[in-house]
Amino acid sequence: MSSINRQVRLAARPSGRPQAADWEFTEEAVPEPGPGQFVVAVSHLSVDPAMRGWMNAGASYIPPVELGAVMRAGAVGRVTASEHPGFAVGDHVYGVFGVQEYASSDGRGVMKLDTSLAGPTTYLGVLGPTGLTAYFGMLDTGRVKAGDTVVVSGAAGAVGSVAGQIARIKDCRVIGIAGGPDKCRAVVEEFGFDAAIDYQAGNVRKALREHTPKGVDVYFDNVGGEILDDVLTRLALHARVVICGAVSQYNEAAVRGPANYMMLLVARASMTGMLVFDYEERYPEALAELAGWLRDGKLVAREHVVHGSVHDFPETLLMLFDGANTGKLVLALAG
C-alpha cells in the first residue's frame, strides 16, 4: 500500500470545454481513519457528463465543486483501514470518494457491494447510478407500457443503452439515436434495440419518420439540442418526454432551448426532468430487479474501461464529449 494519496482538484471554472489548466494535481499522505471512520483505496472512478456541470458556479441540484477541492466522483474501492463498526478491512464499497487514490469516509452514502454478483465496474454502471437513472427515468417518468414506441438518444452510452433495454423488456418498440455506424451496430446487435439512427449521417427527422410511423410515445433524452427538437416533431398523443440530460449543451455558454416545444401542446404531451437522487428510498427494489435482469441475461452490461492513474482523469472526461465511449465510462486505477 502506498503512503501517498494522489488527487485531482478543480483549479479553475472552465468556460466551454475543460482545459488542462482547470485542474491541479496534488499529493497528500494517505489518511488514517478517525473514530467512526474508514479509509478506502479507490480502484475505479465513474466518469460522468454531469461532472462538467459540477464544475460550474451557480445553483443546481447539487452544490458546485469548490475551487481547490478534490473533484467529486462516484467510485468503488476496498476498505484498507477501519474504525467503523459497519465496515471491515477488505469490504468492497461504492461511494462519492472523489478523484483521488484514497478517501476517508464515515459511511454516509456508502454501499457495500456483493462482488459475487458482479464485478466492481458494474456497480458504477447497470447496478449503480447509471442503471438506476435508466430504470426510474424509463419506468417512473416515462411510464412506458407494452406496445409503446420509445426513442432513446445517447443510445450507445451508459444510461441510454440500459434505458433502451428496459423499454425492450417492457415490450416496447425501441429506436436508439447514436453517433456513427459502429455505435448504431452495437445499439441493435448488442443492446437489442429494434433500430438505430446515426445522427452524424444526417437527416434525423427523415429517419424518425421512417422508424416511428405511429409517432413517439416516450422520448428518453440524454443529449438535448437539435436532436430534442427533431424528436419533438414526432410526438404521439399524450407522449412523455423524459429530460434525463443534455450532454450536447454542457460545454455551451448559451444553451439551445427546444424551438419545437409547441408540439407538446399539439400532442397534449409532457416534458419532465428527472433526477436519480430523488429515488433513493426505492434504490433497493430497483437494484433487485436490475440484478435479476442481469442474471437472467435480459440486460447487457457494457463498460468502457480506461486503465491509468488519477492524472488521466481530465483526458478521460473529455472522451464523453467526443463520443469516444460505448457503455459506461470508467477509469480503472492501477493499484
Ligand X SMILES: NC(=O)c1ccc[n+]([C@@H]2O[C@H](COP(=O)([O-])OP(=O)(O)OC[C@H]3O[C@@H](n4cnc5c(N)ncnc54)[C@H](OP(=O)(O)O)[C@@H]3O)[C@@H](O)[C@H]2O)c1
* x/- track of binding to ligand X for residues 124-163 (CB under 6 A): -----x---x--------------------x-xxxxx---
Q: To the nearest whole angstrom, how small is the minimum distance from the Cβ of residue 130 to ligand X?
A: 6
Q: Where are the beta strands (DSSP E) in 167-225?
A: 173-178, 195-198, 216-221
Q: Which stretch binds ligand X (CB under 6 A): 114-122, 239-247, 280-288, 289-297?
A: 239-247
Q: Which is nearer to ligand X, 231 or 244 (CB)?
A: 244
Q: By CB under 6 A, name the one of 44, 84, 92, 183 that touches ligand X.
A: 183
Q: By CB under 6 A, name the one of 247, 267, 290, 291 that touches ligand X.
A: 247
Measured CA to CA, the distance from residue 155 to residue 183 in angstroms comes to 8
- Interaction between residue 50 and ligand X (CB under 6 A): yes
Q: Could you tell me which residues are beta bridge partners of residue 272? A: 242
Collapse the DSSP code of 291 into the 3-class scheme (helix H, G, I; strand E, B; otherwise coil) and give the result: helix
Q: Which residue has the cell 445522427?
A: 199
Residue pair 132/328 in contact by the 8 Å Cβ criterion: no
Measured CA to CA, the distance from residue 193 to residue 83 in angstroms comes to 48
Q: To the nearest whole angstrom, how small is the minimum distance from the Cβ of residue 244 to ligand X?
A: 5
- Interaction between residue 31 and ligand X (CB under 6 A): no
Measured CA to CA, the distance from residue 269 to residue 141 in angstroms comes to 13
Backbone φ and ψ for 141, nearest 5 degrees, come out as: -75, -45
Q: To the nearest whole angstrom, how small is the minimum distance from the Cβ of residue 163 to ligand X?
A: 9
Q: To the nearest whole angstrom, how small is the minimum distance from the Cβ of residue 65 to ligand X?
A: 15
Q: To the nearest whole angstrom, how small is the minimum distance from the Cβ of residue 242 to ligand X?
A: 9
In angstroms, the Cα distances linking 147 to 144, 156, 174 are 9, 22, 10
Q: To the nearest whole angstrom, how small is the minimum distance from the Cβ of residue 86 to ligand X?
A: 27
Q: By CB under 6 A, name the one of 124, 239, 274, 287 that touches ligand X.
A: 274
- H/E run at residue 38: strand 38-46
Instruction: Tell me which DSSP letter residue 8 carries.
Output: E
Q: Which stretch binds ligand X (CB under 6 A): 26-34, 113-121, 164-172, 246-254?
A: 246-254
- Interaction between residue 42 and ligand X (CB under 6 A): no
Measured CA to CA, the distance from residue 253 to residue 272 in angstroms comes to 23
Q: Could you tell me which residues are beta bridge partners of residue 95? A: 75
Interactions with ligand X, residue window 193-212 (CB under 6 A): none
Angle, vertex CA 177, rays to CA 176 and CA 178, nearest 5? 115
Q: By CB under 6 A, name the one of 248, 269, 302, 330 that touches ligand X.
A: 248
Q: To the nearest whole angstrom, how small is the minimum distance from the Cβ of residue 78 to ligand X?
A: 24
Q: Which is nearer to ligand X, 98 or 129 (CB)?
A: 129
Give the list of residues 6+ apart from residue 213 with CB closer than 8 angstroms, or none. none
Q: Which stretch binds ligand X (CB under 6 A): 30-38, 206-214, 245-253, 261-269?
A: 245-253
Measured CA to CA, the distance from residue 267 to residue 217 in angstroms comes to 10
In angstroms, the Cα distances linking 236 to 90, 191, 213 are 52, 25, 10
Q: By CB under 6 A, name the one of 103, 207, 223, 228 that touches ligand X.
A: 223
Nearest to 106 by CA among 42, 34, 5, 32: 34
Q: Which stretch binds ligand X (CB under 6 A): 20-28, 94-102, 176-184, 293-301?
A: 176-184
Binding site for ligand X (CB under 6 A): 48-50, 129, 133, 154, 156-160, 178-179, 183, 222-223, 244-248, 274-276, 320-321, 323, 325, 329
